[in-house]
């Protein structure tokens, strides 16, 4: 069973309209690379030109923020869920 990546509403147009996508990978990075490989329109929204995750993109592994784990080197297992959560800012 693969890893499921939950796609936020704002990015679903770049993922074929899918709310979630199943991918294979042993780490968060491999899973995200598989996602952007299948849906290349997501790449510019998730990664900076340097290849690093954009600062406003938060990724959770089964409700745990990967920034407090091993970041993109965090291992994933079959059946895990990654959730992409873009930060929202603004207002008056």
Identify the three-state secondary structure at position 34: helix
What number does CATH give the domain 3-86? 3.10.20.30
Decide: pTM greater than 0.95: no
Confidence of residue 87 (pLDDT cuts 50, 70, 90): confident
67-77 confidence digits (pLDDT tens)? 999 999 999 99
Q: Residue ranges of the domains in the chain?
A: 3-86
* Spatial contact of 79 and 57, defined as CB atoms under 8 Å apart: no
| Assigned token pair, 1 | 């069973």
10-54 confidence digits (pLDDT tens)? 999 999 999 999 999 999 999 999 999 999 999 999 999 999 999
Task: For residue 76, give Cα distances in angstroms to 39, 43, 87.
Answer: 20, 20, 23
């Amino acid at each position: 069973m693969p890893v499921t990546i939950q796609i936020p509403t704002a990015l679903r147009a770049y993922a074929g309209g899918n709310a979630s996508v199943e991918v294979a990978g042993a780490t968060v990075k491999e899973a995200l690379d598989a996602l952007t490989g299948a849906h290349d329109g997501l790449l510019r929204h998730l990664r900076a030109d340097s290849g690093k995750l954009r600062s406003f993109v938060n990724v959770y592994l089964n409700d745990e923020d990967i920034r407090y784990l091993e970041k993109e080197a965090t291992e994933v297992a079959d059946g895990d869920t990654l959730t992409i959560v873009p930060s929202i800012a603004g207002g008056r």
